[in-house]
Homo-oligomer: A and B are copies of this chain.
Amino acid sequence: MARTGTEELRRRNRAALVEQLHRHGPQTRAELTEALGLNRSTIGALAADLAESGHLHETTGRSTGSAGRPSTLVECVPKAATVTAVEIRADRVRFALVGLGGEVLERAETALDGADPVEAVEVVTGGTARDALESVAAVPGLVDAGVVAHSTELGWAGRDLAADLESATGRTWQVVDTATAAAVGEWSRGDAHESVKLLYLHGGRGLTAGLVADGRAQRGGSIQLGHIVVQPGGRECACGLRGCLEAEMEVFGYAEDIEHATLAAGMGDAAARDGLRRSGEDLGRALGAVVTATGPDEILFGGWLRELYLSAAAPVRSALAETTLPHLRSRLRLRTPVLGDEGALIGAAETGFAAVIDGMR
């Protein structure tokens, strides 16, 4: 458990300092002293250490406006530690090289047109991304120890993506599911920092969800929202079950569909409006089960579920109200993500940085 001696202590404190700066941005040494509960002299020594190794940069003399000697500002050097983040969808692969502190240093996107995503990842991460300390891929589906057990969107079952990516790029990869990554992203870089338990719903060609509790994703935390059975014995689903949410929802599957439906509904198309309502109800019912089972205090509607939620909030809420206990419902906030389409990519990078910082301890 607790490894060894005093140098372990030093490493821990150094890592804590880096983590603090990475998460909360540039701070003065005085603020760091307060935040970490360490002595001024200790902070000084740690900062000197990390400035020497190139992780930190110190800017002297920033006037605070109040009395006293101005404190030196400490900030991360982005290039000192970088992480490769990749988000895989059915139609495209997105890439970002993120530096310590959260700055995006590079960005790229490739359309797939039916090609294997792994090849695209190999191409897009061939440059400076080679220097990255960690590489993380976000995939919409059920992920278990690097293996994509099930993905409606990609049509994979039991694919060892971590191994495939490793043999293609020559580096090790962490694989997370898109929804959990987005939840991590919204928690760490979005507007959900006070959230104790954050449930992120991701609408792609399948429906998945991810849970973050106290800022940490839990092992096996990816939720196949689309395969919650809302209609026992209902329509056959591609997964082999019957009555899955994905199979039962009327308005479903592609961003274009939902746009179409909302446009039509806006123009007074009763059938479209009805379809949206029923879809919202289906979603709300499935959510009821997930909320009862996991007890979140915040739900974010991401991907095309954002549009569905915005145009069918009432049926979602009422179906949810019919299937969850008042206490669970009362503390629940429903809203849309602030990072838009970027959440999963940012969250994947944060997952990588968590590993980097853990590795410093």
Contacts and interface: CB of A to CB of B under 8 A. Distances in A.
Nearest to A290: B293
A244 to B, nearest CB: 9
A218 interface: yes
Contact of A241 (B2, B5, B142, B322): B322
A128 interface: no
B36 A229 contact: no
A196 B219 contact: yes
Interface string A197-211: 100000000000000
Interface in A113-146: 142, 144
Contact of A325 (B20, B221, B241): B241
Contact of A37 (B4, B223, B228, B290): B4
A334 interface: no
A148 to B, nearest CB: 10
**Most chain B CB atoms below 10 A, which of A39, A144, A157, A326:** A326
Nearest to A242: B322
A5 B9 CA distance: 8
Copies in the complex: 2
A220 B295 contact: yes
Contacts of A39: 4
Given A2-B16, A196-B220, A228-B292, A323 B241 contact: yes
Given A142-B325, A228-B292, A241-B322, A213 B218 contact: yes
A232 B2 contact: no
B1 A36 contact: yes
A338 interface: no
Interface string A230-244: 001100000111100
Interface string A141-158: 010100001100000011
A157 to B, nearest CB: 8
A295 to B, nearest CB: 4
A195 B303 CA distance: 34
A242 to B, nearest CB: 7
A322 B37 contact: no
B232 A144 contact: no
Contacts of A2: 9, 12-13, 16, 36-38
Nearest to A222: B295
Contact of A9 (B9, B16, B144, B294): B9
